[in-house]
Structure 1
Amino acid sequence: MADHRAQDKLAFLLSLVPYLVDHDRVSVAEVAAHFGVPQSQIRDAVRLIGVSGIPGETAQYQHGDLFDINWDDFELNDQIVLTNRVAIDDSPRFSAREAAALIAGLQYLSALPEHADRAAVASLMAKLSRGASAVPSSLTVEATATDGTLALIRESVSTGVQIEFCYRSAQGEAQSRRVDPLRIESFDADWYLRGWDHLRQGVRTFRLDRISEPVITTEPITFRAQDVTLPETLFEGSPEDLLVTIDVVPSAAPLLADYIPAGAVTTEIGGLFRTTIRVSHYHGLKRLLASMSGMATVVEPAEARTAVAEWAAAGAARYR
């Protein structure tokens, strides 16, 4: 009978220790409810864990070879906090810098609507902090002008209502839009909202820095991300798009993959790739070529060459 009791106690401890490791701070009452045992049994087990461990290199139980607990918190507040873990911590750990970088990335992701379950993200950040080889540096993600819009989009998703805003197109036209937010994506340095546009009755892409006066409506969301098949590419063509022929260095050609229409012919001329790209307006073409300085040249039509040349000349004139 004694052997069975010892085996049961060992099995319980083997289950309890990983549970405590996985929780940064937990009350005795919570642990007892989780395992379905009396609170007194949890307290006895915690005291036993406090004198358990493995012998280190000296083959003796030194302080670092034993589990340690915040005894003041345990005795005064009935809270269990492991301050030193042994044996199960032999697996490789993130360095403090690696953990800090991951935590900063998670902070940024928690702002996006498709990651609206921020409790899970917060739990993962806490685990990264505890599991690092040293205390991670305190990092925060710099706020941007679009953070307010992101916050409203996140609220729209979490509350299940549509968002309405004024959208200024690249041509400078402003129009009111009412949208079911589906996904936030980045392209180069810009952020875009992909959503179901109730005005156009279809999926549309909106650049966040062109959104103004966003407000949460009282209309329930009609479509969520799992209800709509989003195109693989961020930008979809339309019959009004302009076709432009360009020469581009081979190493930069992959950067234009989203702009090259299906069936476009690419030829090699003088060590450069000549291909056709699709743009919605010449203003977008100017921005695209500015990001590929020295790597791409407009061949035709003449209107496109003129628009880009005049824009580049105006920019250069500001330095005189």
Structure 2
Amino acid sequence: MDFSADALDHGELTLTEARGMDRPLRLSSSEAIALLLALRSLREVAEAHPGLEREPGALDSAIEKLSAATGRAAEQAASVQVELRADAPSGTLQALREAIAGGRRLHLRYVSAADVVTERDVDPVEVRSDGVTWSLRAWCHRAQGSRTFRLDRILAVDVLDAAADAHPDLVARDERPWEGDGRLVTLELTSPARWVAEHTPVEEVTDLPDGNLRVTLRAGDPAWVSNLLLSLGDAVLAVSPPDLARDVAVRARRALEEYGRLA
């Protein structure tokens, strides 16, 4: 496909090589049902979290038009009950959105993937979802750095009177996509660490000529993959991406320094 650059300059999107997109799409029954259920699920999320739907009524309009166009498939989809599991305490998402809109600081009581409960003040930047989990991107005053907090791990949230500092470049500088399906991590491990491939959901496992193995997995949480690497110790031969290896090495050196102080 190709687009008209001249039309785009005037605010219009025009296909010059449509390749079949110049006629209405015909959905199969299964496609129509899947699309209707997805739209209904999205509407459930929007109804549970007021203010999420940027164009009020857009989902209802889309569902109505698609139902009218698909006939029997719409009747089948209507017979399916849609229930979504809330992944955050009631009111948490709304409180975060209000704080972001009002430029207010938040106080969080948060439990990490390592089951450590902390309390911290944060400047919220944005709330986002990958369709599975919701997360808050914020500047953490306790850690003095940007952090991502899963909403289902926020135990309590309070909107403070203090104004949040502006962090316009926080998201732009974030090159570590831990949200969603997670960050793709590749590990080279010695043979005794094969249990990682057997007990952890992995993308790919490659047996190496020397008897070791290469494992590719998606790490949805930085604390989890950091803890995994530290627990493996000498069984870890190589880590990619390099900045993950550096972060874990820094954490290991700090732990060793603490042992030195105890000694």
The two structures have a TM-score, normalised by structure 2, of 0.49
The structure, 1 or 2, with the larger RCO (C-alpha pairs under 8 Å, 6+ apart) is: 2
The two structures have a TM-score, normalised by structure 1, of 0.42
Larger Rg: 1
